[in-house]
Amino acid sequence: MSNPSPTLAPIDAHIKSLLSVNLQGSQYDLETYAGRCQHFWNSTNPLNLLLPSSELEHAKKIITAHKRGTLQDEFSEKELTSLNKKKLWNIKNIYNSAYHPETGELQPWWGRMSSQVPVNMVITGAMVALSHTAFLNFFWQLANQSYNSAVNYTNRSGGSSDMKNIALSWSIASGGALSASHFAQKYINGNAKLQTMNPAVLRALAPFAGIVLANLVNIPVMRNQEILEGITVSNEEGVPLGKSTALTSDALSKVVAGRLVIAACCVILPSQMMKYVGKIGPIKRALAHPKYGRITDVNLTILCVGACLAGSVPPALAIWPQKVKLAVDDLPAELRDDIKTKHPKTEFVYYNKGL
């Protein structure tokens, strides 16, 4: 008579359940727009910047142990019992908000995705409200491109320094942004029809022109290796299968389009908001105050930009999937034939579009 199979102790079953969670993916359905919005809201949530270092270190310890499959060795039974799948995903979101996805290094707060709203609202708000002189336009456009470069450096692929590429991108983007905003302002000042527009909207046009041109040159320069060598395609497990330059233009155009949607929402929309908010009694009086009017205008513009950023960044990033799925038959002929020869059972491949 065969012995009955042993049953797992409750704590062992609980650990097995925790380890079954695939933390390499997302808790949301990234095939849907709503799922991607939820995913990017977690990534860019500025409240993550308020988390103490002890909580970040605890999150890293749990995620690292989960990856190694050693939760039971590094945590007490009481700690593991208090952990469930929902809490595990919350901890993963905390980890993602602060640590580099490939190197596991703690990122400086100003380079994290969660810094996008608070830092950009100040820079973009000031760019709109305080670019009325050539020096201020120069300063804030330079500040914007310097912050973009800092974020690019912090989130660089594989942790490789690639400082030469980042410096080149900063130089070209800064020069382009300054030139575009300068000539746009010159054109606006000389155009009688544009001068009839609402001043709150009019003053945003030149900074917006600078941001648009900077994005058009910044992203291709930063990703020039993909233009020259192609984007890497992998199987479902993430194993690289080859590269294709034919995929690069589609990926970069979607990244640029997403960035421009954010720029439009955060430069043009706040100006429209200011037009209506400025009509509210107390705010209207504060804006008209001879001493505090300028300060009120700057602070109100920054708050409007912040509101637009918080509401537009996740939806804009979610327009297209970051991880793109393609049938092998739809790949360029050379890469398709190579994969079919070396990996005949592979039907679909994936590539990272970028953000």
User: Comparing C-alpha atoms, which of 326, 355, 351, 294 is closest to residue 39?
Assistant: 355
Percentage of the chain surpassing pLDDT 90? Answer: 11
pTM: 0.78
81 CB neighbour count, 10 Å cutoff: 13
pLDDT bin (cut points 50, 70, 90) of residue 2 is: very low
Query: What are the φ/ψ torsions at residue 52 (nearest 5 degrees)?
Result: -70, 155
pLDDT confidence band for 216 (50 / 70 / 90): confident
Are 172 and 221 contacting, i.e. CB atoms less than 8 angstroms apart? yes
pLDDT at residue 55, as a whole number: 94
Q: What's the pLDDT score for residue 44? A: 85
Closest CA to 201 of 279, 265, 145, 271: 271
Q: According to DSSP H, which parts of the chain are helical? A: 10-19, 33-44, 53-68, 71-74, 77-81, 85-98, 116-129, 134-154, 163-189, 199-222, 224-229, 248-277, 281-288, 293-317, 333-342
